[in-house]
Amino acid sequence: MKITVIGSGYVGLVTGTCLAEVGNHVCCLDVDPAKIATLQAGGIPIYEPGLEDMVRRNVAAGRLSFTTDVEASVAFGEIQFIAVGTPPDEDGSADLSYVLAAARGIARHMDGYKVVVDKSTVPVGTGDKVRAAIAETLAERGADLPFAVVSNPEFLKEGAAIEDFMKPDRIVVGADDERAIELMRRLYAPFQRNHERILCMDVRSAELTKYAANAMLATRISFMNELANLAETLGADIELVRQGIGSDPRIGYHFLYPGVGYGGSCFPKDVKALVASGQEHGHDLKVLSAVEAANDAQKLRLVDKVIREFGEDLAGRRFALWGLAFKPNTDDMREAPSRVIVDELTRRGAEVVAYDPVATHEAQRVMGDNPKLQFADDMMGPLAGADALLIVTEWKAFRSPDFDAVRAALKQPLIFDGRNMYAPAWLRGQGFTYHAVGR
């Protein structure tokens, strides 16, 4: 099949590449000429395990191409995926301007039947807006052409995006046009050879499913973070509590890790957008408002512990920080808790030397103007003479460091661990003062 993907970011590039991997011909469009130039030159603009090889393989096979030419990209595919960003507007609601611009771009140049598939995360009712934008633009052209609008939200996780796309838990297809549904079934057949994974539903339910999924996951995290804070006060160990509840199959072990709060490009903006959508329609989503407030507070939890140790004024202090990305296996710095933590430490006068296995470049782009923040090339580098080590992202490389070397390098053996990486009793036995979350 011939497919166009509009927006070549984390979702669009993975979608396009995986669709090419199973034999389709895919044209990826982006408005960012630098991104397209990188891709055309054989590079990839983001870090995602396995993606670079897959892109190269499919480009070499002639199945994957990149362009900034809207007219050519519209002509290319019968199926047109929209995978552009939907960042929060000032009031927290999703900014649909990119989605609607992509839809109008299709309508401006189409000359036959198109299936417009919305993969971006969008509020309920966006399908109708996309349909209206296309109809309006076609009317301006005096063209009467058939098209269908489908909602096909994406559930991939950054860091495991290829695996998630190639072996999805489910494929949600929201549509009411039989021809479009048939095309979507054919398109996704290679990804569900083991068993049927397509859940066909109406467009509105599909749109809400995506927000409901992210809101539920964010809720689990905020729930555990609040309990972790309580556990600290009560003298309980949240890690034991986590195992105690996770063993119940109705609860399960996933997404019960307390930490420094959720970040990334999805949970924060999707929780906000769902709350805003509720408000717009007269529903006060109290649980989700609390999820967001608890998360905002949690991002400063590690700094609170530092203040308890060193006092409010951190001038003259230097901290080593491990992990900048919002989670391991990605370079994504959007809404990363590290940003809030570094801002607050440096605002109080401290210097921070940070190390991240892959996100340093991206961190330099978004935080590089902070004169009190430096970046190190290796994980032991920041430790020399630092007042303490703070762990913010749970990269595998941090799981079992050379603790003797860590102790020797730090000014004093003091660790603030925002990800509960280590066994507290053992570490204390090694002479460390160890502050974790909820234990």
Ligand X SMILES: NC(=O)c1ccc[n+]([C@@H]2O[C@H](COP(=O)([O-])OP(=O)(O)OC[C@H]3O[C@@H](n4cnc5c(N)ncnc54)[C@H](O)[C@@H]3O)[C@@H](O)[C@H]2O)c1
Active site amino acids: 266
Backbone φ and ψ for 432, nearest 5 degrees, come out as -90, 150
Grouping H, G, I as helix, E, B as strand and the rest as coil, residue 415 is strand
Tell me the torsion sign for CA atoms 331, 297, 216, 212: negative
Interacting residues of 279 by C-beta distance below 8 A, sequence separation 6+: none
Q: Which residue has the tokens 């191409």?
A: 65
Question: How many helices (H) does the chain have, and how many strands (E)?
Answer: 17, 14
Q: Which CB, 335 or 344, lies closer to ligand X?
A: 335
Minimum separation from the CB atom of position 32 to ligand X (A): 4
Minimum separation from the CB atom of position 69 to ligand X (A): 11
Q: Which CB, 86 or 420, lies closer to ligand X?
A: 86
- Between CA 430 and CA 414 the distance in angstroms is 11
**In the structure encoding, which two tokens stand for residue 135, read together?**
């109809």
Q: What's the full length of the chain, in residues?
A: 439
Q: Which CB, 74 or 320, lies closer to ligand X?
A: 74
Query: Cβ-closest residue to ligand X?
Result: 9
Q: Which CB, 18 or 228, lies closer to ligand X?
A: 18
**In the structure encoding, which two tokens stand for residue 375, read together?**
């970046």
- How far CA 98 is from CA of 94, 132, 195, 289, in Å, comes to 10, 15, 35, 26
Give 283: exposed, middle or buried? Use CB within 10 Å, 0-12, 13-18, 19+: exposed
Q: Which CB, 29 or 172, lies closer to ligand X?
A: 29
Minimum separation from the CB atom of position 114 to ligand X (A): 15
Minimum separation from the CB atom of position 154 to ligand X (A): 4
Strands 114-118 and 79-82: parallel
Residues near ligand X (CB under 6 A) are 6-12, 29-32, 35, 83-86, 98, 101-102, 105, 120-121, 154, 156, 158, 265-266
Minimum separation from the CB atom of position 152 to ligand X (A): 11
